[in-house]
Structures are given as structure tokens and as C-alpha cells.
Amino acid sequence: MTSIRNYLTPVKKGHLIGIGGVSMAPLAEVLAGMGLDISGSDMVNSEKIEYLRSLGIRVSIGHSAENLYPDTDFVVRTAAVRDDNPEIVAANEMGIPVFERTQAWGTIMQDYKNALCIAGTHGKTTTTSMCTHILMAAEKDPTVMIGGTLPLLHAGHRVGSGDTIVMESCEYYNSFHCFFPTVAVILNIDADHLDFFEDLEDIKASFRKFASLVPEDGHIVANADDKNTMDALVPLERKLVTFGLSPSADVYAEDIVTRGAQTDFTIMYKGKKYCRVNLRVPGLHNVKNALAAATAAICMNIKPVAVRCGLSAFTGVKRRFEFKGKYNGADVYDDYAHHPNEIRALLDAVEPLGYKRIIMVFQPHTYTRTNVLFDDFVEQLRRPDLTFLAEIYAARETNTIGISSSDLAHVIPNSLFFDNLEELEKSLRWTAAPGDIILTVGAGNIYKIGERLVAGQK
């Protein structure tokens, strides 16, 4: 089988399909910086594409066989690009090898002394962002790939010149099996993406293989509080560096003090004080994320002052409990939570904040997830004072199951179902009152409602 490493050398010509994507745009920038001749295509123009053009990268809008140059050496595509894409068809006809973006990132990763990969069913984006803050405070000049926008970077990526790369690493389609981590962080393992994985045991096996990619002199960082994680990793018979809320972990938290949306705590390492942190995002789940980031830093010999300064400067990531503004005296926040355990963590963080009412506007994400985790969704969506339910966001699926958000509404008290977002928004405008917190929640386009509310748009 042809290796992409043979093609990632100066002067080689590569074509990236979906070049404006969250991980493809920085990939193009990195490859161009390595001396390759890069071109690409995407469906729509964007600021990212204009930036790539400013670097001398040729980008075509729209997918066509004509976008491929006759002397193109290789093609890289995103997972969303199917085999019937005209550029993929043309590449196959022309005998040009086609690779996945994760294969390219994995190969690039091998050229870094430190390759920090953050994996887990929940919390990857936040923890990768926390790690980025720490590495920037430590002046490591890292290359970064995050699945969300980090205010510190004004983007979801950064191309550095240091010896460290930090990557958010997703399990879907086993994509993180292409990576070569020197430090692998596993935050948690839960039943999700069951349109691809057979069951929880299949997911555990995927994470176990990911952890096994760490070399003998590397580090596997594991959540000691998460049974699924420990069950998956113990069969490796490899040394784990653990984090958690219990002193039984290698890295744990003591003297946790909550003040509104802020949390102060002491990070302990093997029974001794490592540093004191002021965390400016709420919830114990974020304390755990911070502990994971600190543990990774310890494995990389980062000084405690960089961990303290990095975590204290972290104020969140776009679409992770992101404050959007106010509407009719109510605070409007947006969150990407689309799994029952993510909703639980969000509500655990919000409930102590003292709002008169919690109004959740939830848009389920994929029919498969809604169906398989139906009872878990019901348990969490009962908790807000009022739950507005939008129709399921299909994403990559078609509704062969025949499920609807109306099925959730039938069994959730104080819930309302809307089959279109316009009617939902109209009702929300009428309902919102001073002292409320409005949470727009989900991985689809539900965030637009909150943005329109605070902008005063109809």
C-alpha cells in the first residue's frame, strides 16, 4: 500500500478537496510551509480560503475534474468527500493516489518531538484548548488543531515552529488510529457514534488501539474516575498516568471552591501541591478537563507556573457554554452538547448559578443517537424548568427509523416541540423574562436562534 509519507516532500504537488475545512485549511498551510505545491477546492468561498490564497495556494470554488492538474502527485480529502466526487473519480482515473486528511496529519505528527493527542467521547475541544493555553504560556510555539474556535488564536488552529503539536483526536470512523501520539490523553469513553461502532465494547477496543500507538517511552493519560476508560486501558499492561477528583489518581484536585462561574482548586501531583488554579469556566467537568491538561503538561515536563497561567487565562471555546448576550433581561448561552452526558455536565454547571429559570432550547443531533440514547435524553431534558425541542438535525443521516423530537416531547414534562425553528424562536421571544438563562444546545444550527435573539433580529 502506498504511503503518504513518500509524497510529503518539497516540490511535490498535492490537491486538497474541502480545503476550507476546519482541519484541511491548516493542513494546507503546513504542507505549503514544508515546500509542497498545494492546490485545493471547496464548495464556497470563505475567509480561510482567502487567507490560503494569500499564501500562494490555488483554490477553486466548486468541485470539478478540471480542478486537478495533470501533474498532481497526490490528493487529500476530508471524510465528507465521497467516492463519487468528480475530483475523486478523476484522481482514480488518472492513477493519482488519494489519502484521508488524518493520514496526512498523522505523518506530519511524526516529525514533532512532542505529539499530544486529546481523545475522549466528551471534552476534547475544551481540553485541547486548555493544553494550547498551557503550551503558549510555556512558550513552546506549538502547532495546534482544535475542533472549535479558541479566542486566544482567533481560530481553531495554529501553525507554530516549535517541536510540539497538539491535536484534538476523534474516534469516529477510527480516524485517530492514523496518529502517532507521544502523549495520548483519554478523557472518557461513552456509547456514541453507534451508526459506526457496534456497541460500547467496540468503542473501548478503538480507544485501546489508539492508546497502544504511544511508544514505550511515551505517556498514556487516563481518567481514573471513568470506569469505561480504565476497563479499556488496563488490558494494555502499560503504565498509565491518571487524573481525577479522587486522591487515588496521580493528579487530582483539592480544596475546590466555587464562586459563581469560577472555580478555584489546587492541583495535586502524587500527594504534593503542584499549583493553585483559578478556572474561569464553570462545572466539575471543566475541573476534570483542566486536570487532564495539567497531567499532559506534567508528562511533557512543563513548569507549574505555565500550567497555572495557562489555565487561569482560559475563558472557554466557541460553542462551549459561550455567552452570546442578553435578551429581555435573560442571559443567552450556547453549548455544543449533543450527548446526554454532555447535557448532564452542562446542567450540573448551570444549576448552582442561581437563575430563576433554566430554559433549554435543544436540537437533537442524528436520528441514530436520539433513538439509541432516548431514555438518557429524557432523563436530562426533564431537568430544565422549560425545554423547547427543535426537530432532529439529520447531519449525515436519513430518517429510516421514523423518530422525531416530538417523541421526546410526549414524555418530558414542561417541554414544547416545534417542527420549525421560526415558530420556536417566536415562542421563545414571548417566554423569555429577566432572571432566566436561555441555553441553545446541540451540534446543529440551533445556535442561530440565540444569535438572532441578542441581535434583536426578527
In tens, the pLDDT along 398-414 reads: 899 999 999 999 999 99
Q: What pLDDT, on the 0 to 100 scale, is given for residue 126?
A: 92
Q: The sheet that has 330-335: what strands, in order across it?
A: 322-327, 330-335, 436-441, 357-362, 386-390, 415-418
What is this structure's pTM?
0.81
Tens of pLDDT, residues 60-105: 999 999 999 889 999 999 877 889 999 999 999 999 999 999 999 9
Span 202-210, average pLDDT: 95
Q: What pLDDT, on the 0 to 100 scale, is given for residue 177?
A: 94
Q: Where are the beta strands (DSSP E) in 43-142?
A: 58-61, 74-77, 98-100, 114-119
Please report, for the chain, the start and end positions of each structural domain, with discontinuous segments joined by +: 4-101, 112-312, 322-455
Give the burial class of 66: count Cβ atoms within 10 A of its Cβ; 0-12 exposed, 13-18 middle, 19 or more buried. exposed
Q: How, if at all, do strands 74-77 and 98-100 pair?
A: parallel
Span 317-341, average pLDDT: 90
Q: How confident is the model at residue 350 (pLDDT cuts 50, 70, 90)?
A: very high
Catalytic residues: 124-125, 168
**Architecture category of domain 322-455 in CATH:** Alpha-Beta Complex (3.90)
Q: What are the φ and ψ backbone dihedral angles of 280, each rounded to 5 degrees? A: -100, 25
Q: What pLDDT, on the 0 to 100 scale, is given for residue 457?
A: 55
Q: What pLDDT, on the 0 to 100 scale, is given for residue 97?
A: 95
- What is 4-101's CATH topology? Rossmann fold (3.40.50)
Span 161-170, average pLDDT: 93
* CATH class of this structure's domain 112-312: alpha beta
Span 270-275, average pLDDT: 94
**pLDDT > 60? residue 117:** yes
Alpha helices for 71-123 (secondary structure H): 86-94, 101-109
**pLDDT > 90? residue 139:** yes
Residue where the block lists cell 485549511 = 25
Span 342-349, average pLDDT: 91
Name the average pLDDT for the chain. Answer: 92
Q: What pLDDT, on the 0 to 100 scale, is given for residue 1?
A: 55
